[in-house]
Homo-oligomer: A and B are copies of this chain.
Amino acid sequence: MKIAIAQINTIVGALRTNSDKSIQYINSAYEKGADIVLLPEATITGYMALDLLFNAEFIKDNIKELHRIKENIPKDIVAVIGFIDEENDKLYNSAAVMQRGKISGIVRKVKLPVYDVFNELRYYTAVSNTKPVNVNIKGKQVHLGVQICEDMWDETNNNVTSRLASEGADLILNISASPFQVGKKSVRERLVSKHAKENSIPFFYCNLIGGQDEVVFDGRSLAADTNGNLIHISPSFKEELSVIDLEMIDPLSTLTPSMQDQHEDIFNAIRLGIKDYIVKSGFDSAILGLSGGVDSSLVAVLAVEALGSENVTGISMPSRFSSEHSKSDAELLANNLNMNFKTLPIEDPHKSFLALLEDDFHGKSRNETEENLQARIRGNILMAFSNKFGYFPLATSNKTEMALGYATMYGDMAGGLAPISDVSKTKVYELCRYYNELKGEEIIPLSVLSKKPSAELSEAQYDPFDYDVVSPLVDELIENGSTKAQLLEKGYDEDTIDKIIFMIKKSEYKRRQAPPGIKITTKAFGIGRRMPLINHYNGI
């Protein structure tokens, strides 16, 4: 028996496009001799459609497409397709099993996630149990244990997988939309292996690929044999049709679980996130401010790798406080990347704002007001270029800055996407070094990586943080949810902990108005972290 895994890139709402692509992949799978083909969760609607699911026409249209697929695929292949089923005004996240122009069975999702970015109980009704779907493959009855994404993340006794096996399933087929997150690939491998081994059943896992809003689905579909050995791993971050012949497994060739390769994975996740967000939004080019600093340098690199150097424009917008090396570093980076580059000094609008405000601000001492003013002039220029030339504007804040509120709303926070807002300051440096190593040359000038971080918004200003302490501390608080007691035990200074917690809490309002980012960690700012704006608790 041959099983095909079609990890395709769907688009939320693109019912016809997603269905046409499904038909095309099912045909290819058939041509390659597959008996069964799996497509990802919510194949037809795309994932996550959120409140679009409340549109009754949308649900009807998704069911029409399901039937259109059924009628336009070869009769001799079994296709497992994700769609949204409806019955008595209730919605079910479902998989349809099709064969011979008919729907042989519909399986509904048992486990509906509501943690982090997920909110499925807002939309769907859970079912308490499922049964295998019987199909005929080359004259033999085969019982397919179909399940959907979270159903696999159930390790209780009597879990979804073991119940399907005990109901007589011959194979487990899981269709998923599991977002990328550092370290998650090993967890998925462990789960697929474990379920396969515990139930002595082959396990096939088809995961979505592509960027959708704040998440990137990494694909990396899997298969395991009845001993729990991994027998297949699809590539990450690209569409792929893989066909696995269950009769042809050489036990010696089974794969060992993945080693972590964080930098490559993070880089590729963000690259795909940028590309899909921009292209699916109808843009083909991007613009960003280049300060000569490490954050904008990394975003430039990622944008060039996502869109091509000819489609990315960097603007250096020096003020009276910008150092010579910042200007030259920005230009050198742009030249190294072969991207479009221009310089627009902000001195004139800067002067005119200061003059306009002079009377009212007379006698008040200089504070962050004058700094934010410059950042917002830059934001305005960036948006003007975006509006005039149709360039998609990219913001360059990193996660550590976003946590601390060390960023200007409507200034450097301006943009349609903030690609590195889930990347800590420490990781920003690591990714820059990773890229230079990958390319074997100093694409990002070494001076960018070695100079002291500065916003250059006033005389001799440097970032008021020791990032070696603060960057991991923010990660501890946000990603690990560490308590103060735990952090003290790890050796963090109490005053620093209190100050950082206070800063994170105080800047919640800024993050509320931030552009969407690309999630790469267990906890990104954005839809997966829903903190109150008014919050008088002495903690986060």
Contacts and interface: CB of A to CB of B under 8 A. Distances in A.
Interface of A: 11-15, 17, 46, 48-52, 54-58, 61, 114-115, 119, 121-122, 212-213, 276-277, 280-281, 342, 344, 346, 348-349, 351-353, 355-357, 360-361, 364, 367-369, 372-373, 376-377, 379-381, 383-385, 387-389, 409-410, 414, 416, 481, 483-484, 509, 512-516, 527, 529-537, 539-540
Contacts of A384: 353, 357, 369, 372-373
Nearest to A387: B369
A317 to B, nearest CB: 10
A14 B15 CA distance: 47
Contacts of A122: 114-115, 119, 530
Contacts of A349: 349, 352-353, 356
Nearest to A49: B532
Nearest to A529: B51
Given A373-B380, A376-B376, 6 more contacts: A46-B536, A52-B535, A348-B356, A349-B353, A349-B356, A380-B410
A525 to B, nearest CB: 11
B381 A356 contact: yes
Nearest to A357: B384
Contacts of A509: 281, 416
A272 B394 CA distance: 37
A348 B355 contact: yes
- How many identical subunits does the complex contain? 2
A348 B13 CA distance: 46
Contacts of A416: 509
Contacts of A512: 515-516
Contacts of A380: 353, 373, 376-377, 380, 410
Nearest to A537: B13
Nearest to A385: B360
Contacts of A483: 56-57
A372 B414 CA distance: 14
A360 B351 CA distance: 21
30 contacts: A11-B536, A12-B532, A12-B534, A12-B537, A13-B532, A13-B534, A13-B535, A13-B536, A14-B536, A49-B535, A50-B532, A52-B531, A55-B537, A57-B483, A57-B539, A119-B119, A121-B121, A213-B534, A356-B381, A357-B381, A360-B388, A364-B389, A368-B387, A369-B388, A377-B380, A380-B410, A416-B509, A512-B515, A513-B513, A516-B533
A410 B376 contact: yes
Contact of A514 (B213, B348, B513, B531): B513
Contacts of A527: 530
B410 A379 contact: yes
Nearest to A45: B537
A445 to B, nearest CB: 26
Nearest to A122: B114
A397 to B, nearest CB: 13
A88 to B, nearest CB: 14
A515 B508 CA distance: 12
B536 A280 contact: yes
Given A115-B122, A352-B348, A384-B357, A532 B373 contact: no
A276 B212 CA distance: 36
A389 B369 CA distance: 9
A410 B383 contact: yes
B50 A530 contact: yes
Contacts of A515: 512-513
Contacts of A280: 534, 536
Contacts of A57: 483-484, 539
A361 B388 contact: yes
Contacts of A379: 376, 410
Contacts of A276: 534
A540 B17 contact: no
A402 to B, nearest CB: 14
Given A379-B376, A410-B379, A481 B54 contact: yes
Closest 9 CB pairs of A and B: A13-B537, A14-B536, A410-B410, A369-B387, A13-B536, A348-B352, A376-B380, A369-B388, A349-B352
Contacts of A17: 536
A20 to B, nearest CB: 13
A286 to B, nearest CB: 15
A345 to B, nearest CB: 8
A281 B534 contact: yes
Nearest to A515: B513
Contacts of A376: 376, 379-380, 383, 410
Contacts of A121: 114, 121
